[in-house]
Chain A
């Protein structure tokens, strides 16, 4: 789509402790429905959103992590994880629910420069 803008959603917050991660995901899905060019960036504690094996029964909050798997159905396939953030949390790509592209800080910064709209929640 020629008039599509490049939207990047920057996720830097962990899930459950606050609602931002969940409500951010809702915007991502709507943005994709508007046929925009959507990217998701995971930095700092935001990388924890993608951790496999979330079991929320004990805290009685809905486990929304399966929604990351549904992103593909909305043609949202550009998921970027900052390597330094992942390493600092003892995580590897195998820990994530969905396939991601791991980028260095410098690569991430460059990608941010290419966006039309950057949203962070």
Chain B
């Protein structure tokens, strides 16, 4: 089955991004495809390469990058939400790309299931 995931909250502040990651990992382990993860609202902060958590904490941003690289997941950050919050190409973490809201709608159209994580 083809899954789309939406993440609406930033890392560390809210569990949404953690839950979405655990869900994505479990879906892949079960042989499903995670086609795209769309980051919206404060969720765009998940794409900041300036993120530096303490060493004993999980690195939410790098974790997404790694999962995406290993499983060919399209990590898309909403451009309007990103610019509002200071996320640009120059501070975008590896594996993420900035694009329009059409990419979210396309996830709804093309995926068998769209699962949203937010507040």
Contact = CB atoms under 8 A, between A and B. Distances in A.
On whether A and B touch (CB less than 8 Å), the answer reads yes
B41 A31 contact: no
B116 A120 contact: yes
A111 interface: no
Interface stretch (B45-53, B55-63, B104-112): B104-112
A7 interface: yes
Given A117-B114, A121-B8, A31 B81 contact: no
B35 to A, nearest CB: 14
Contacts of B106: 34
Give the size category of B's interface with A. Answer: 10 to 19
Given A23-B40, A26-B80, A121 B105 contact: no
A46 to B, nearest CB: 14
Query: Which bracket fits the contact residues of A?
Result: 10 to 19
Nearest to B106: A34
| Prevailing SS type, chain A contact patch | mixed
Contacts of B108: 5, 7, 31, 36, 116-117, 119
Contacts of B54: none
A42 to B, nearest CB: 18
B102 A30 contact: yes
Given A5-B108, A117-B108, A26 B101 contact: yes
Contacts of A120: 116, 118
Interface of B: 6, 8, 40-41, 80-81, 100-102, 104-106, 108-109, 114, 116, 118
28 contacts: A3-B109, A5-B109, A20-B8, A23-B41, A23-B80, A23-B81, A26-B80, A26-B101, A27-B40, A27-B104, A27-B105, A30-B100, A30-B101, A30-B102, A30-B105, A31-B105, A31-B108, A34-B105, A34-B109, A36-B105, A116-B108, A117-B108, A119-B108, A119-B116, A121-B40, A121-B41, A121-B116, A121-B118
